[in-house]
Amino acid sequence: DTAVSQTPKYLVTQMGNDKSIKCEQNLGHDTMYWYKQDSKKFLKIMFSYNNKELIINETVPNRFSPKSPDKAHLNLHINSLELGDSAVYFCASSQVAGGLADTQYFGPGTRLTVL
Amino acid sequence: SQQGEEDPQALSIQEGENATMNCSYKTSINNLQWYRQNSGRGLVHLILIRSNEREKHSGRLRVTLDTSKKSSSLLITASRAADTASYFCATDAPYNNNDMRFGAGTRLTVKP
């Protein structure tokens, strides 16, 4: 069974479109995250979500918004896509809230290409 | 700027050799983790080392932490071709544990 799953795996879209990436974890974890990995392989935290508390990296544009329908899901909505949004987006989860005090389990990633 | 910076950026060795990767960081940390990423896949957790620990082992992996030098190293002994991957260190800050930072990784190639 996949612990953290993301859909779609690949997403190709035009500039200006609105898109969503879904993430589900079946580990019973309380905290979920979204990361962006750019072309130079740097991984940057975008959001941390724990039991209705959303921690936002202040550098993330407000075109990005996480939505959590329940504890097992944290979807990422992106409005008005821009070329610079092209990257691989990873969802992750952990039992302990925030930080690296606990193992984070990563999804397989979604490669977003904006044309 | 990125908190963790891995060194070297790329490393190529023969199967059976040991591989050492280093990670340096700039500010105080609470925890440091090493992750592995196979091409086109998500990250897989390897080892967590806390700021009050100096060394941890897991199978063929050994991680050291020197907080005075703000550095950590990951040693993979008796490497295998299947160890070929990118290895990342990640740190979080004691004043804000949501401030998690990853380096750009070391690309390890183990030749059979």
- Does any domain span residue A17? yes
CA A91 to CA B32: how far, in whole Å?
20
pLDDT in tens, A5-62: 999 999 999 999 999 999 999 999 989 999 999 888 888 889 888 877 887 777 889 9
Q: How far apart are the first and last CA of chain B?
A: 36
A106 — pLDDT class (breaks 50, 70, 90):
very high
Q: Tell me the CATH number at A27.
A: 2.60.40.10
User: Does B51 touch chain A if contact means CB atoms closer than 8 Å?
Assistant: no
Residue among A41, A100, A109 minimizing CB distance to B33: A100
Tens digits of residue pLDDT in B98-107:
678 888 899 9
CB-CB: which of A44, A48, A109 is closest to B42?
A109
Q: Are A113 and A92 in contact (CB under 8 A)?
A: no
- Domains (ranges, CATH) in chain B? 5-107 (2.60.40.10)
- Report how far residue B47's alpha carbon sits from residue A28's, in angstroms, rounded to the nearest whole number: 21
- Residues of chain B with Cβ-Cβ distance to A107 below 8 Å are 42
pLDDT over threshold 70, residue B1: no
Number of domains present in the structure of chain A: 1
- Residue A114 domain-assigned (yes or no): no
Whether the upstream peptide bond of residue B112 has omega within 30° of 0, thus cis, is no
How far apart, in whole angstroms, are the C-alpha atoms of residue B23 and residue B29? Answer: 13
The token pair at A91 is 């969802």
Count of beta carbons in the 10 Å neighbourhood of residue B40: 10
Question: What backbone phi and psi angles, to 5 degrees, belong to A102?
Answer: -135, 160
**Residue-by-residue DSSP string for A3-34:** SEEEE-SEEEE-TT--EEEEEEE-S--SEEEE
pLDDT band at B84 (very low <50, low <70, confident <90, very high): very high
DSSP-based three-state secondary structure for B74:
strand
Tokens of B112: 């059979």
With contacts defined as CB-CB under 8 Å, which chain A residues touch B103?
42
Residue A104 falls within a domain, yes or no? Answer: no
Question: In terms of residue numbers, what domain contains A53?
Answer: 4-99
Please write the tens of the pLDDT for every residue from B59-78.
999 999 999 999 999 999 99
Beta-carbon contacts of A62 under 8 Å, excluding residues fewer than 6 positions away, are: none
Q: For A21, what's the count of Cα atoms within 13 Å in the CB-facing half-sphere? A: 32
Tell whether A98 lies on the interface with B, counting CB pairs under 8 A.
yes
pLDDT at position B8 over 60 = yes
pLDDT band at A95 (very low <50, low <70, confident <90, very high): confident
pLDDT of residue A43: 87
Cβ-based neighbours of B51, under 8 Å, separated by 6 or more: B28, B29, B30, B31, B32, B65, B67, B94
Test mutation, B31, B43, B56, B91, chain A, max A CBs within 10 A: B43
pLDDT at A65 over 80: yes
Mean pLDDT of all residues in A88-113: 88
Which residue in B has a C-alpha nearest to residue A58's C-alpha?
Answer: B99
